[in-house]
Structure 1
Amino acid sequence: MAQYLFDSERYCGEWRRHWIHVSQWLLALAGGTLLLGYVVGAMGSVPYVVGAAAVLWIVLLLLAGFKIGDWFFDKFVLTDKRVMLIEGIVTRRVAMMPLARVTDMAYQQSPLGRVLNYGTFVLESAGQDQALREIAPLPYPNELYLLFCQVMYDPEEMLAVGEEGD
């Protein structure tokens, strides 16, 4: 993480997107595994069908593994000067917005988001279209919202808390 920070910048935290972000791939992988087991059990005497099902399952395993790995390495980072979204395994993409340019911030939670404790953050910046506008789904949105507001509106208090913990 240090490679993305200025020397004068204070790191406030980083978060991985909520696991719901990859849930469809986890479900597809579970369903594909069950389907492969059914095909092997029902068509075990037809090797071409079993072989084709196994190849399709391996392709699904590779795709799901890549998506889950991509989710694992993606980070939402908050510092005392900016907010960043770092994405990608093979190709790295870093989107950034200075905190001084954030004019409005909100988070939204669907009913499922309220139950599983995730939400979508929406950042506005002086009427301009930004690369970092919506960040979804982030875990613990209420706590993250409060921390974000504290960093934006009371940075001296954040520095005092950080110095007490050292």
Structure 2
Amino acid sequence: MGYPDNVLAGDERVVLHRHPHWKRLIGPVFVLLLATAVAAFGLGVVNHMAWEQMAKNIVMIVIAVIWLILVGWLVLWPVSNWRATHFVITDRRVMFRHGVMTRSGIDIPLARINSVEFRHGLADRMLRTGTLIIESASQDPLEFHDIPRVEQVHSLLYHEVFDTLGSEEFPS
């Protein structure tokens, strides 16, 4: 049983489970390609130098270590963060969890949601993503950035809130 199933109540069901939009991965992929190209070029240049083999090996190791540090910090860490970020709507609440080493999150009961808004610019509309803004009864509005298909999520969440409020006002 994976996330989010392991944090649900017994009769609670997941309506939607999303990670942030893949656009968050464009920068790390670009860095990976650029760092790999620069490291490969550097290794090629060092390999064709008229240095002793020991000096070549040391410089190649330094290039490889710098590449590993850059890829770990600027590629693997953001990808891990993207993978560890969850936006979940259930039939009872909205859950947002993020973080790799230190996890944090928030749960908003559907019955406490006052309004649901979305915002996206031209680039976000082309990529079908945006920011979802949820205003609950006791807090300032919460913004969730880079939600894929934000208009669909907005509509779905609105209907879930309406169904929840309807069931509380008119119990069967």
Residue 88 of structure 1 corresponds to 99
Q: Post-superposition shift, 1:151?
A: 0.7
Q: CA deviation at 1:31?
A: 1.0
Other-structure match for 2:84: 73
User: Are 1:34 and 2:51 matched, yes or no?
Assistant: no
* TM-score relative to the length of structure 2: 0.79
Deviations 1:114-157 (A, max 9, x none): 11111111111236247xx1111011111111111111113599
- Give the one of 138, 149, 153 matched to 2:158: 149
**Aligned AA (1:96):** D
- 1:1-166 matched pairs, under 5 angstroms: 1-44=4-47, 45=49, 47=56, 48-63=58-73, 64-126=75-137, 128-129=139-140, 133-155=142-164
Instruction: Extract structure 1 runs of 4+ deviating beyond 6 A.
Output: none
Q: 1:73 to 1:134 in 2, by over 3 A?
A: same
SS at 2:32 equivalent: helix
Report the Cα offset of residue 26 of structure 1: 1.5
* One-letter amino acid of the structure 1 residue matched with residue 146 of structure 2: P
**Structure 1 residue 50 displacement after superposition:** 3.1
Q: How many residues align?
A: 155
AA aligned to 2:23 is I
- Is contact 2:92-2:164 (8 Å) kept? no
Q: Distance in 1 between matches of 2:61 and 2:5?
A: 47
Q: Which runs of 5+ in 1 are unaligned?
A: 158-166
Instruction: Give the RMSD, CA atoms, in angstroms.
Output: 2.2
What displacement does 1:55 show? 0.8
Q: What is the TM-score with the length of structure 1 in the denominator?
A: 0.82
Which ranges in structure 2 are unaligned for 5 or more consecutive residues?
A: 50-54, 167-172
- Structure 1 stretch 38-47 or stretch 57-66: which is displaced more? 38-47
Bigger shift: 6-15 or 79-88? 6-15
Instruction: Name the stretch that deviates more: 86-95 or 11-20.
Output: 86-95
Tell me the distance in 2 between the aligned counterparts of 1:12 and 1:143.
Answer: 12
